[in-house]
């Protein structure tokens, strides 16, 4: 049988329960509101004139942990941006190099790139030849045959035709570089007056305005008026340099001019000395019997001199581009003139370029057939 335990009254039961439950630690005891507020005030640091600097340093020290990570992030952003820029520049340089030197692209985009970047296509002596100069010559050829002859350069025949012209375009660019060097050596230049005279003569010959001339150039060569002026300046410079270097031809012309001043007959000297085989046996008389500023067979420089002469008068030696000329005005009928000339052919500039190139060799950076 189970032993019965004695019955306890309620007060004795509560006393036994209290003896079983452990006492609550002091740190978990409830603190009155007044005591909590008082403890908070006691923890607030006291700031005085003596401790304000120390307090400010403590505040800043706590803020630095937010400041330095931000500076760290800015530094990483700058480094990453510079790295991306360098990669982009290198990639673009590689693309341009392959497009120009391996595939020899002559697209409008690559032409614009060469106009901005001084990329060389060759070296003439100590001077680099800009790739843009080569494309300037090549693209006008492409434009003319594509727009006027209907040639498709994407076909095998078209590509073969273009490849055959590439050496010509390259030679033109290299020769232009040599001409500039020779011009600098001999102090030769083309003035704005020279250029304006040549441009006005071209407009007169074609009976066109600046805009009409620009439209024609754009249609046939893809050129603007500035491109045309560039080409004219280049041609005039080459002609001027050749006229300065060809001292023997100038001396021959001066000799004939002296004989004319001494009373020799113009027709006799024309037959004896003139290099114009079409007119020398006819006393040097031009085939054009109505010479004006629009005449295409007479140099603009010669026309300009004739306009200020009297019938029967003989000029001195005139530089007329590719020739030296001595002219005689026969008649002037209200601006329509007849005249005779003795012509002396100037040695082509290519002769002097070849001579100069022997001591200043070229180096080409692309392979053309």
Pick the CATH number of 108-245 from 1.20.1070, 1.10.4030, 1.10.3470, 3.40.50: 1.10.4030
> Poorest-confidence range of 26-40, 91-105, 304-318, 324-338?
26-40
Is 60 exceeded by the pLDDT of residue 343?
yes
- Mapped onto helix, strand or coil, the DSSP state of residue 363 is strand
Is 80 exceeded by the pLDDT of residue 7?
no
Q: Which residue has the tokens 């030197």?
A: 101
Q: What is the CATH number of domain 247-346?
A: 3.10.50
Half-sphere exposure at residue 264, Cβ-oriented, CA atoms within 13 angstroms: 16
Predicted structure pTM score: 0.76
Q: Which residues of 212-246 are buried (b: 16+ CB within 10 A; e: fewer)?
A: ebbeebbeebbbeeebbbebbbbbbbbbbbbbbbb
Is 90 exceeded by the pLDDT of residue 325?
yes
The pLDDT tens digits for 217-230 are 999 999 999 999 99
Average pLDDT over residues 141-145: 96
- Can you name the residues that pair with 124 across neighbouring β-strands? 127, 362
Q: What is the mean pLDDT of the chain?
A: 87
Residue ranges of domains in the chain: 51-103, 108-245, 247-346
Average pLDDT over residues 297-302: 90
> Helix (H) and strand (E) counts for the chain?
13, 6
Between 75 and 216, the more confident residue is 216
Is 50 exceeded by the pLDDT of residue 295?
yes
> Could you tell me which residues come within 8 angstroms of residue 153 by beta carbon, excluding any fewer than 6 positions away?
142, 145, 146, 159, 161, 162
Between 21 and 233, the more confident residue is 233
Is 50 exceeded by the pLDDT of residue 188?
yes
pLDDT at 32: 54
pLDDT at 23: 56
Q: Are 127 and 177 in contact (CB under 8 A)?
A: yes
């Amino acid at each position: 049988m189970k032993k019965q335990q004695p019955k306890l009254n309620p007060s004795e039961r509560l006393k036994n329960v209290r003896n079983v439950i452990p006492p609550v630690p002091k740190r978990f005891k409830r603190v009155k509101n007044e005591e909590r507020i008082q403890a908070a005030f006691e923890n607030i640091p006291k700031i005085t004139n003596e401790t304000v600097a120390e307090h400010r340093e403590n505040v800043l020290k706590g803020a630095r942990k937010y400041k330095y990570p931000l500076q760290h992030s800015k530094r990483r952003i700058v480094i990453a941006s510079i790295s991306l820029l360098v990669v982009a520049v290198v990639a673009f340089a590689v693309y341009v190099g392959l497009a120009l030197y391996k595939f020899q692209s002559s697209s409008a985009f690559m032409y614009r790139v060469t106009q901005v970047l001084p990329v060389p296509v060759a070296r003439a002596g100590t001077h680099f030849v800009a790739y843009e100069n080569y494309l300037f010559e090549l693209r006008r050829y492409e434009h003319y045959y594509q727009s006027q002859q209907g040639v498709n350069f994407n076909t095998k025949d078209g590509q073969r035709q273009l490849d055959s012209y590439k050496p010509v375009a390259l030679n033109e660019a290299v020769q232009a570089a040599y001409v500039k060097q020779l011009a600098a050596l001999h102090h030769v230049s083309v003035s704005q007056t020279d250029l304006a005279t040549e441009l006005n003569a071209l407009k007169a010959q074609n009976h066109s305005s600046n805009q009409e001339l620009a439209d024609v150039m754009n249609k046939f060569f893809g050129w603007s008026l500035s491109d045309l002026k560039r080409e004219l300046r280049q041609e005039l410079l080459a002609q001027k340099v050749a006229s300065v270097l060809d001292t023997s031809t100038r001396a021959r012309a001066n000799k004939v001019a002296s004989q004319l001043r001494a009373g020799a007959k113009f027709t006799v000297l024309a037959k004896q000395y003139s290099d114009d085989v079409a007119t020398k046996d006819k006393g040097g008389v031009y085939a054009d019997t109505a010479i004006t500023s629009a005449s295409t067979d007479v140099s603009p420089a010669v026309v300009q001199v004739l306009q200020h002469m009297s019938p029967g008068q003989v000029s001195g030696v005139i530089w007329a581009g590719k020739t030296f000329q001595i002219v005689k005005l026969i008649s002037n009928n209200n601006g329509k003139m007849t005249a005779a000339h003795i012509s002396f052919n100037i040695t082509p500039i290519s002769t002097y370029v070849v001579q100069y190139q022997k001591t200043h060799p070229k180096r080409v950076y692309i392979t053309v057939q």
